[in-house]
């Protein structure tokens, strides 16, 4: 008779006690399933004052903690560097972190400015980074940029040349960009160009579908080369909106076109023609923003009174520039404006994006007299001196693209009504709460 254990329909299970003990023993000796872990390390740097503010001469202490999975790391090396923002560090050391973190003496500053601590931790072959920036009486920061005697005449001549060009608005409906309450169009306007040849200026215009008169908002872009979709949601809430590009190319092309231009013909456009004030890249851009307002204020649905401008980074710069150049602008909201006090590096302190004067020598240096002179006609500081309309400005102390020293240099010389909304810990970015407050301010300003 076959004595092999069988399992099947109608069959019993025949297993000896010896066999059962062998099976259980083999199960107990199997290795446990491996459990791998992976996590991001957060390097948190903070100041010893919750408002991050100090008076010149007062010492600052920075605290550094590295956190993984919600718990502070102990026994890891941290390298920290402390010095004026964007400048070579005055302190550079490597120490070992404990679970309680590391508190260091950061020193002080004798004059208004910003002192930054940058800490890095290496873990699992990666480098993690954090920073905090202490402010020393930033309201006392004054610009290094000079105001040239010919500034107003130069821009008056530019606006006069623009006014001689017809707007020649060419409008293409974009039904897929709109919504139930707003229609959108690509707008193509005639603009001042290089020399005597005109160029074109493109954007996405969105208007409420309902008949009526509405306030208008010009949205100006951050740096880069990209397409745009317009501000249909804001138009649906009763505001004419025009979101523009600056490069004189359509703003509805495939992304690959902009990628190619950004990596090729338009790479480093922010310094094109910097040796000549009449041929610098931003001349056409600044005047193009005025041309965009020509379109908005000539639209039959404009209410005839309310016009504002907004943007961030390069767009923050363009917001200030446009408000200074165009008397029709009644207010602005600017996030972390670029192109401010770019000559700061010539005085051994932080300057604004695009940092063209940061390098003192070598192939990246632009420190020639003609380029420095051209910068005086385009620096946001010199436009800020001429802004008389109300404005909301917003940035953080940890911005490494548009250093706060450069932004305060412009903000502190604005004669018009101004309000500063600080998101202290942010770098070159927004947080939702910040955006919501700025948007609410803009809508309340445009629809009083």
CA neighbours closer than 13 Å in the CB half-sphere of residue 419:
11
Please tell me whether residues 120 and 233 are part of one structural domain. Answer: no
Report residues of the chain scoring pLDDT below 70: 1-37, 196
pLDDT (0 to 100) of residue 116: 98
Paired tokens of 77: 């090396």
The residue annotated as part of the active site, out of 247, 355, 366, 428, is 428
| CATH number, position 94 | 2.60.40.1930
Q: Counting runs of H as helices and runs of E as strands, what totals does the chain give?
A: 10, 18
The residue annotated as part of the active site, out of 294, 326, 379, 399, is 399
Please tell me whether residues 254 and 295 are part of one structural domain. Answer: yes
pLDDT (0 to 100) of residue 448: 79
CA–CA gap between residue 297 and residue 188 (Å, rounded) = 16
Whether residue 247 is contained in a domain is answered as yes
C-alpha distances out from residue 163 to 231, 286, 287, 290, 374, Å: 27, 14, 10, 10, 23
Is 71 considered catalytic here? Answer: no
Domain boundaries, position 261: 151-446
Residue 196 CB partners (closer than 8 Å, separation 6+) = none
| CATH number, position 257 | 3.40.50.1820
User: Is the C-alpha dihedral spanning 95, 99, 105, 111 positive or negative?
Assistant: positive
Chain-centroid distance of CA 237 in Å reads: 25
- Which of 83, 106, 140 is the endpoint of a domain? 140
Are 358 and 351 a contacting pair, CB within 8 Å? yes
Is 428 considered catalytic here? Answer: yes
The residue annotated as part of the active site, out of 199, 313, 375, 409, is 313
pLDDT (0 to 100) of residue 15: 55
Domain count, the chain: 2
Tens of pLDDT, residues 152-181: 999 999 999 999 999 999 999 999 999 999
Please tell me whether residues 167 and 306 are part of one structural domain. Answer: yes
Is 199 considered catalytic here? Answer: no
Cis preceding-peptide flag for 354 (omega within 30 of 0): yes
pLDDT (0 to 100) of residue 39: 84
Cα pseudo-dihedral 280, 284, 289, 295, rounded to 10: 170
- Which of 85, 109, 140 is the endpoint of a domain? 140
């Amino acid at each position: 008779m076959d004595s092999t254990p069988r399992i099947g329909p109608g069959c019993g299970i025949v297993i000896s006690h010896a066999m059962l003990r062998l099976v259980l023993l083999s199960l107990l000796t199997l290795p446990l399933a491996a459990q791998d872990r992976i996590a991001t390390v957060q390097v948190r740097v903070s100041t010893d004052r919750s408002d991050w503010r100090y008076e010149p001469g007062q010492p600052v202490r920075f605290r550094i903690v590295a956190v993984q999975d919600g718990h502070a790391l102990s026994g890891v090396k941290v390298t920290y560097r402390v010095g004026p923002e964007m400048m070579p560090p005055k302190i550079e050391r490597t120490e070992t972190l404990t679970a309680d973190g590391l508190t260091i003496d950061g020193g002080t500053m004798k004059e208004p400015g910003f002192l930054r601590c940058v800490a890095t931790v290496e873990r699992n072959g990666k480098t993690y980074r954090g920073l905090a920036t202490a402010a020393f009486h930033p309201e006392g920061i004054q610009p290094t940029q000079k105001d040239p005697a010919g500034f107003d005449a130069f821009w008056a001549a530019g606006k006069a040349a623009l006014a001689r060009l017809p707007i020649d608005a060419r409008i293409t409906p974009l039904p897929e960009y709109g919504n139930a309450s707003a229609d959108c169009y690509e707008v193509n306007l005639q603009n001042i160009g290089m020399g005597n040849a005109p160029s074109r200026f493109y954007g996405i215009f969105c208007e409420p579908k309902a008949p009526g008169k509405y306030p208008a908002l010009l949205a100006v872009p951050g740096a880069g080369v990209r397409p745009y979709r317009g501000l249909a949601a804001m138009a649906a809430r009763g505001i004419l909106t025009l979101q523009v590009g600056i490069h004189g190319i359509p703003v509805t092309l495939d992304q690959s076109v902009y990628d190619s231009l950004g990596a090729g013909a338009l790479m480093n456009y922010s310094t094109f023609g910097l040796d000549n004030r009449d041929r610098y890249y931003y001349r056409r851009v600044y005047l193009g923003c005025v041309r965009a307002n020509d379109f908005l204020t000539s639209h039959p649905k404009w209410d005839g009174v309310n016009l504002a401008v907004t943007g961030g980074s390069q767009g923050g710069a363009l917001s200030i520039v446009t408000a200074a150049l165009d008397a029709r602008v009644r207010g602005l909201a600017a996030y972390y404006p670029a192109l401010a006090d770019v000559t700061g590096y010539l005085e051994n302190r932080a300057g604004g994006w695009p940092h063209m004067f940061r390098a003192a020598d070598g192939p990246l240096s632009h420190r020639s007299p003609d380029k420095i002179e051209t910068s005086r006609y385009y620096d946001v500081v010199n436009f800020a001196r001429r802004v008389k309309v109300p404005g909301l400005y917003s940035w953080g102390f940890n911005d490494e693209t548009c250093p706060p020293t450069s932004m305060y240099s412009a903000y502190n010389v604005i004669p018009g009504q101004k309000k500063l909304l600080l998101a202290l810990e942010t770098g070159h970015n927004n947080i939702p709460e910040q955006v919501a407050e700025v948007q609410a301010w803009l809508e309340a300003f445009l629809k009083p």
